[in-house]
Amino acid sequence: MTAVFTPSLFDDPGLGVGRPGDVSWSGAHRTVLDERSWVDVVPGWLPGAEEWFSRLVREVPWLQRRRRMFDQEIVEPRLTCGWDLAGAPAPADELAPQLTGRYGEAFDRVSANFYRDGTDSVAWHGDRVRFTHPSPVVAIVSLGAPRRFGLRPVGPAGAAGRSGGGTRWLTVCGGDLLVMGGRCQHEWQHTVPKDPGAGPRISVTFRHSDPGPVAARSERAREVPAWALR
């Protein structure tokens, strides 16, 4: 990994960012992808999103990861960082209980992707929490410029076997909350595609590490490789 920015301390948690009591669930809309998967979008969930975006750009120790793909090494077209909840930049530690109250999961992991412009992206994928969670809930706060967010069912056979159909496209804006649940990480993939002309955007993602009683008892959960738990 290669560090891109040098951080300062997260010592001013109130810097204009909306307090947790200010989050708004009005306008929340659920799209049922199929009988097992869903996605919620809450426009303008977080007030003061612009201030949080600016602070994260300046202060996060952004990394650009390299991955082996087949016989070559590629550089991921975005910057990333991750924390446990206690170490995450404020007000993440106060937003997580709001999400827990709504969705019933103890969100204790936070990560961020920085899409510097429209050439940065993330390919179709399901989050690695699917290795340990039968029905994970993944909550994403969008900061900065609007970007398209795609969802598609995994495999043509899977798509044909479930109601709901093919690819869905959403546009998420600064301050919006997007939450994926049910079997979304197992049976659907998501992407942020390249978008010429798009401005900078950060996605702050909340996940829960507790796999729950079903996954905790399974052989598959105990055999998950270490990289999938990071």
Give me the CATH number covering residue 193: 2.60.120.590
Q: How confident is the model at residue 42 (pLDDT cuts 50, 70, 90)?
A: very high
Report helix, strand or coil for 101: helix
Over residues 153-200, the pLDDT tens digits come to 997 644 444 555 699 999 999 999 999 999 999 999 999 999 999 999
Asked if the structure places residue 228 within a domain, the reply is no
C-beta separation of 88 from 7 below 8 A: no
Write out the two tokens for 45.
Answer: 């969930």
C-beta separation of 45 from 23 below 8 A: yes
Q: How many other CB atoms sit within 10 Å of the CB of residue 20?
A: 16
Asked if the structure places residue 118 within a domain, the reply is yes
Write out the two tokens for 141.
Answer: 């706060």
Residue 230 reports pLDDT greater than 50: no
Of residues 102, 55, 66, the one with CA closest to residue 204: 55
If one counts the domains in the chain, the total is: 1
Asked if the structure places residue 150 within a domain, the reply is yes
Domain extent for 159: 22-62+73-218
Q: Burial code of 202-213, b = ≥16 C-beta within 10 A, e = fewer?
A: bbbbbbbbebee
* Tally of CA atoms within 13 A in the half-sphere of 86 that contains its CB: 0
Asked if the structure places residue 172 within a domain, the reply is yes
Instruction: Return all residues near 157 (Cβ < 8 A) that are at least 6 apart.
Output: none
Residue 214 reports pLDDT greater than 70: no
Of residues 57, 28, 66, the one with CA closest to residue 45: 28
Residue 215 reports pLDDT greater than 60: no
Residue 103 reports pLDDT greater than 90: yes
Distances from the Cα of 224 to the Cαs of 68, 132, 133, 219, in angstroms? 20, 7, 11, 9
Q: How confident is the model at residue 23 (pLDDT cuts 50, 70, 90)?
A: very high
pLDDT over 70, % of the chain: 77
Residue with tokens 């087949």: 70
Asked if the structure places residue 3 within a domain, the reply is no
Mean of pLDDT over the chain: 84
pLDDT at 72: 86
pLDDT at 157: 45
Of residues 30, 23, 15, 29, the one with CA closest to residue 44: 23
Over residues 54-100, the pLDDT tens digits come to 999 999 999 998 877 778 888 999 999 999 999 999 999 999 999 99
Asked if the structure places residue 167 within a domain, the reply is yes
pLDDT at 10: 39
Q: How long is the chain?
A: 230
| Run of H or E including 215 | helix 212-216
Asked if the structure places residue 9 within a domain, the reply is no
Q: How far apart are alpha carbons 22 and 31 in whole angstroms?
A: 24
Q: How many other CB atoms sit within 10 Å of the CB of residue 148?
A: 14
Of residues 60 and 12, more confidently modeled: 60
Asked if the structure places residue 35 within a domain, the reply is yes
